[in-house]
């Protein structure tokens, strides 16, 4: 029944020993089908143990996807031991027989995690790069960084009038793929101290995008498209010849391009037709860009430079129509930028760490204050007004 099922799920696992495990589920009004197969080898006890743990995660993922609207709950699929299991892949097709199916693909291995979702309302991609794991922060820092991104997603959805259900799935995918980071390999990586990590976001590198299916809801002006496109990325570079002569860089960006129609009167829904009397609305276009870049370098063990640069711009165009006539067309651009020298703050963090090394009972409050001050100067700020205020 799998091939003709309304909802189809497949989990494929490659073990470290080379065995291939495939689990297929299919559900429809006729019932449930299950297929299980092991090829290219046999399973070790350790592999069986890991597979048992993944079974619950797979069930949670399937249960979430079967809901209406679908819920992304894939975080459990990232918690496997990469020394036992080489990779985990999940694919799902929802509503395969409806004419408007939604497809989901997920992949995780020791160096990469990815998810792609495509359906009637739109599509999104999330990719997480695990190559620079020595740059990730503490669990507290990771939690704070994730919360900040979820707030940015909400801001983008609000400014661009994004689809709430699609954005909810995107947020869950981003959170799940940034959960259960594996431990960083000890060698031959250049280690980072607390001062170095204070300038970094706390998360692994990523790139992600979400795009709604464009719509043309106005028959009198079909060129007015409702759209929502949002892209984010983070890239980290750790270089240098050794720990005494290391360099750290991180670039983060977010861009939003959206357009939508809205009613002139709160609580009155739009019903645009070819009748001029229905043509009372505003057509809004939004173009936003935000960037943050940090660069830190050491020479012979001494901090040589530490710089942060941030910028944000928002452009909003509002075209107002009354009885099908354009009565106003206003474009409002807002932008801001800031540059911060972080040398003194990072030196303070290193001095506090050195003091605690000789006196473990020393207070950490000064260090926490310095780290907080660094974060305020390095984290991505999407609102130019807030960035301008912070730069004063």
For the stretch 209-263, pLDDT in tens is 999 999 999 999 999 999 999 999 999 999 999 999 999 999 999 999 999 999 9
Q: Taking 50 as the threshold, does the pLDDT of residue 1 lie above it?
A: no
Rounded average pLDDT over 36-64: 88
| 182's tokens | 């594996």
Contact 74, 90 (CB under 8 A): yes
DSSP state of 215: B
Q: Taking 60 as the threshold, does the pLDDT of residue 115 lie above it?
A: yes
Q: Is residue 30 part of a domain?
A: no
Q: Is residue 65 part of a domain?
A: no
**pTM score > 0.85 for this model?**
yes
Q: Worst-scoring range by mean pLDDT, 2-6, 63-67, 157-161, 302-306?
A: 2-6
How many domains does the chain contain in total?
A: 1
Please give the pLDDT value at position 347.
94
Closest of 210, 302, 300 to residue 257, by C-alpha: 210
Rounded average pLDDT over 341-361: 86
Q: Which residues have CB under 8 Å from 217's CB, separation 6+?
A: 224, 226, 261, 270, 272
Please give the pLDDT value at position 358.
79
Q: Is residue 173 part of a domain?
A: yes
Q: What percent of the chain has pLDDT over 70?
A: 94
Q: Is residue 86 part of a domain?
A: no
Q: φ and ψ at 186, to 5 degrees? A: -75, -35
Q: Taking 70 as the threshold, does the pLDDT of residue 366 lie above it?
A: no
Domain that holds residue 210: 111-391
* Residue-wise pLDDT tens digits, 69-89: 889 998 889 989 988 999 999
Contact 2, 77 (CB under 8 A): no
| 29's tokens | 């009004």
For 370, other C-beta atoms within 10 Å of its C-beta total: 23
Q: Is residue 162 part of a domain?
A: yes
Rounded average pLDDT over 83-99: 89
pLDDT class of 38 with cuts at 50, 70, 90: confident
* Residue-wise pLDDT tens digits, 314-332: 999 999 999 999 999 999 9
Q: Is residue 358 part of a domain?
A: yes
Q: Is residue 49 part of a domain?
A: no
Q: Taking 90 as the threshold, does the pLDDT of residue 6 lie above it?
A: no
Q: Is residue 83 part of a domain?
A: no
Closest of 272, 141, 172, 275 to residue 218, by C-alpha: 272
């Amino acid at each position: 029944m799998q091939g003709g099922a309304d909802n189809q799920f497949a989990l494929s696992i490659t073990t470290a020993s080379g065995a291939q495990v495939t689990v297929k589920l299919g559900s429809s009004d006729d019932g449930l089908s299950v297929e299980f197969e092991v090829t290219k080898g046999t399973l070790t006890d350790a592999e069986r143990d890991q597979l048992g743990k993944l079974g619950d995660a797979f069930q949670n993922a399937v249960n979430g996807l079967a809901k209406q609207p679908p819920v992304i709950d894939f975080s459990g699929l990232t918690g496997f031991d990469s020394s036992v299991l080489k990779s985990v892949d999940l694919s799902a097709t929802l509503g395969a027989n409806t004419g408007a199916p939604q497809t989901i693909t997920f992949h995780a291995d020791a160096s990469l995690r990815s998810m792609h979702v495509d359906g009637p309302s739109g599509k999104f991609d999330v990719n997480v790069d695990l190559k620079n794991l020595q740059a990730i922060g503490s669990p507290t820092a990771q939690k704070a960084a994730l919360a900040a991104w979820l707030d940015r997603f909400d801001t983008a959805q609000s400014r661009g009038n994004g689809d709430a259900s699609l954005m909810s799935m995107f947020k869950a995918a981003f959170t799940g793929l940034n959960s259960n980071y594996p431990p960083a390999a000890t060698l031959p990586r250049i280690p980072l101290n607390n001062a170095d990590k204070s300038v970094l976001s706390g998360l692994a590198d990523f790139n992600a995008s979400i795009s709604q299916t464009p719509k043309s809801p106005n028959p009198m002006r079909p060129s007015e498209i409702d759209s929502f496109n949002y892209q984010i990325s983070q890239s980290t570079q750790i270089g240098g010849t050794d720990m005494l002569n290391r360099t750290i860089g991180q670039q983060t960006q977010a861009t939003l391009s959206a357009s939508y129609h809205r009613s002139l009167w709160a609580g009155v829904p739009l019903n645009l037709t070819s009748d001029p009397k229905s043509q009372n609305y505003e057509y809004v276009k939004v173009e936003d860009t935000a960037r943050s870049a940090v660069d830190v370098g050491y020479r012979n063990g001494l901090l040589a430079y530490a710089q942060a640069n941030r910028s944000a711009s928002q452009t909003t165009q509002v075209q107002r129509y009354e009885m099908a006539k354009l009565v106003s067309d206003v474009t409002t651009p807002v932008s801001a930028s800031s540059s911060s020298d972080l040398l003194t703050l990072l030196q303070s963090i290193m001095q506090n760490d050195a003091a605690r090394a000789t006196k473990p009972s020393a207070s950490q409050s000064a260090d926490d204050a310095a780290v907080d001050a660094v974060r305020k100067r390095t984290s991505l700020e999407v609102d130019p007004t807030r960035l301008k205020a912070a730069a004063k």
